[in-house]
Amino acid sequence: MPKKSKIGELASAATVAEFADQLSSYTTLTASEISILFPKTTDRVELMELLKIVGAATDDNEKKAQLMAKIDRVGGAVLKIVQKFAPGL
């Protein structure tokens, strides 16, 4: 992958900050915590996939089925969130 230009780096940082700001309005996490927990684009994609499942207008059994079916795509986000809220485990 080619190295980002200075403008590309600034745009990427702005996008990450905007993502964290927007997401923090839906969670108890601050924008800073979100940026630290999910620093990479792939991390944020996982988190968004998880939030889509949890926020879906379906019953809990359907959400559980979706989580089981997609655990390979959301497992990292689940682990980071649990470790954040239960650091003593």
Closest CA to 47 of 63, 35, 57: 35
* Residue 1 forms part of a structural domain: no
Q: What is the pLDDT of residue 22?
A: 76
* Residue 54 forms part of a structural domain: yes
For residue range 25-72, what is the model confidence (pLDDT) as tens digits?
A: 777 888 888 889 999 989 988 998 998 899 899 999 999 999 999 999
Q: Residue 1: is its pLDDT beyond 80?
A: no
* Segments forming the whole domain that contains residue 21: 6-85
What burial class does residue 49 get, using C-beta atoms within 10 Å of its C-beta: 0-12 exposed, 13-18 middle, 19+ buried? Answer: middle
Whether the CB-CB separation of 51 and 34 falls below 8 Å is answered with no
* Residue 20 forms part of a structural domain: yes
For residue range 3-28, what is the model confidence (pLDDT) as tens digits?
A: 767 776 666 666 667 777 777 777 78
* Residue 47 forms part of a structural domain: yes
Q: What is the pLDDT of residue 63?
A: 94
DSSP three-state, residue 13: helix
Q: Please give the residue that has the higher pLDDT: either 46 or 89.
A: 46
Count structural domains, the chain. Answer: 1
Q: Which residues lie below 8 Å from residue 78, measured CB to CB, with a gap of 6+? A: 50, 67, 71
